[in-house]
Amino acid sequence: MSAKIKTKRANKSADVKISDPGLADAGAFWYTERHDGHSGNTFKINRIIESTQSKFQRIDVVETAGLGKALILYGSLMVAEGDHNAYNEMLAHVPLFSHPKPEDVLIIGGGDCGCLTNVLKHPEVKRATMCELDKEVVEVSKRHFPRLTAGVKDKRAKLIFRDGKNFLETTRKKWDLILLDLSDPVGPAAELFQASFHRTIYERLNDDGILVAQSESPFYNLDITASMYGNLSNIFPQVHLYTCHMIVYPSAYWSFTFCSKKYHPQDDFDHERYKRLARKMKNDYYNDDIHFGSFALPEFVRRAL
């Protein structure tokens, strides 16, 4: 039994003010991302660095007053220089350190390249493929976020610009890790939150493969988080939810669903490899304690799963 993920809107950017006729509308250059019209995050914007409309979505790069440069896609703040990169580090390193030989990694989405760059911090990775629909997001990110996009220059990186669903349905290749680094289930990414796509992913993973999917805010979108957890539990033998603190996302509390054919994220954590790589990785958020602690779920989340 699979519950269909609501795609009408994730309610996330219901009242975002960054929309035509442009940022000046945000009111004295405050960007406010509201949830369901009643609560939100607000950030002061010093200046708009770049505003473009790609074939798929509106893309804005702004200079915030407190958190450095930020990338806004489709009206949702995706990444900021001062957010400690929690989201990208948690999406990449938790599965990478849970798999003993993560050689082939596929990222679906991930246009800001922060996930790719973190994946490539692991010398075990031989090939990291990123399949992103919107080439323009990558180009804009390369211009403005050099630290995030450093991995693009790595010889192991391969970028493919096409629809992730179509790509996975037509390829014959298999991967050790597939990471779903998608924007919210609204707009271009909506179809990639459905169970049918998750089943396709299962087929394209090796027999000991791992999928991690970002699964929205357990505070504001607990229904989406719980539906995804339920759907994925019907497909994978092991499903575990973990979370991080991500300041620029609605509620500042974000979840990831770890789905595995074989390895357990805690029992199979590679302590030796972590000790060897930790210092070189220069992470701001992820570490071994967080790897374990991030699977602890508060009572209101535990009850919903």
- Beta-carbon contacts of 57 under 8 Å, excluding residues fewer than 6 positions away, are 73, 74, 134, 187, 188
In which residue are the tokens 């979505």 written? 57
Cα–Cα nearest to 134, from 240, 53, 251: 53
Between 157 and 239, CB nearer to its own copies: 239
Cα-flanking dihedrals φ and ψ of residue 181, to 5°?
A: -105, 75
171 contacts: CB under 8 Å, gap ≥ 6: 204
Site for its own copies in 178-197 (CB under 8 A): none
Report the candidate in 39, 44, 51 with the shortest Cα–Cα distance to residue 15. 39
In the bound complex, what is the minimum distance in angstroms from residue 46's beta carbon to its own copies? 9
CB of 253 to its own copies, least distance (A): 5
Torsion, CA 47, CA 62, CA 29, CA 255, rounded to 10: -160
What's the min distance (Å) between Cβ of 18 and its own copies?
Answer: 14
302 is an interface residue for its own copies by CB under 8 A: yes
CA distance 111 to 99: 24
Q: Which one, 89 or 104, has the nearer CB to its own copies?
A: 89
DSSP symbol at 20: T
276 is an interface residue for its own copies by CB under 8 A:
no
In DSSP terms, 107 is beta-bridged to: 130, 179
Q: Which residue in 134, 176, 181, 270 is the catalytic one?
A: 181
What element of type H or E holds 157?
strand 157-160
Is 181 designated active site? yes
Task: Give the nearer residue to its own copies in terms of CB position, either 84 or 165.
Answer: 84
CB 133 → its own copies: shortest distance, Å? 30
Task: Give, as ranges, the residues between 199 and 258 that touch its own copies (CB under 8 A).
Answer: 219, 243, 245, 247, 251-253
Least distance to its own copies from the beta carbon of 44, Å? Answer: 5
Binding mask 27-66 for its own copies (x = CB under 8 A): x----x-xxxxxxxxxxx-------------------xxx
Q: Give the ranges where 22-134 is alpha helix by DSSP (H).
A: 86-96, 114-119
Strand partners, 259: 211, 239
Tell me the window of 148-156, 184-192, 261-269, 290-298 that interacts with its own copies (CB under 8 A): 290-298
Minimal distance, residue 162 CB to its own copies, in Å: 35
Residue 173: partners with Cβ closer than 8 Å, 6 or more residues away? 104, 204
Phi/psi region, residue 119 (left: phi>0; alpha: psi -120 to 50; beta: rest), is alpha
Among 62, 86, 119, 177, binds its own copies (CB under 8 A): 86
Tell whether residue 12 is a contact of its own copies (CB under 8 A): no
Query: Binding segment for its own copies among 117-125, 127-135, 184-192, 291-299 (CB under 8 A)?
Result: 291-299
**Residues contributing to the site for its own copies (CB under 8 A):** 27, 32, 34-44, 64-67, 84, 86, 219, 243, 245, 247, 251-253, 283-287, 289-290, 292-300, 302
Active site residue ranges = 181
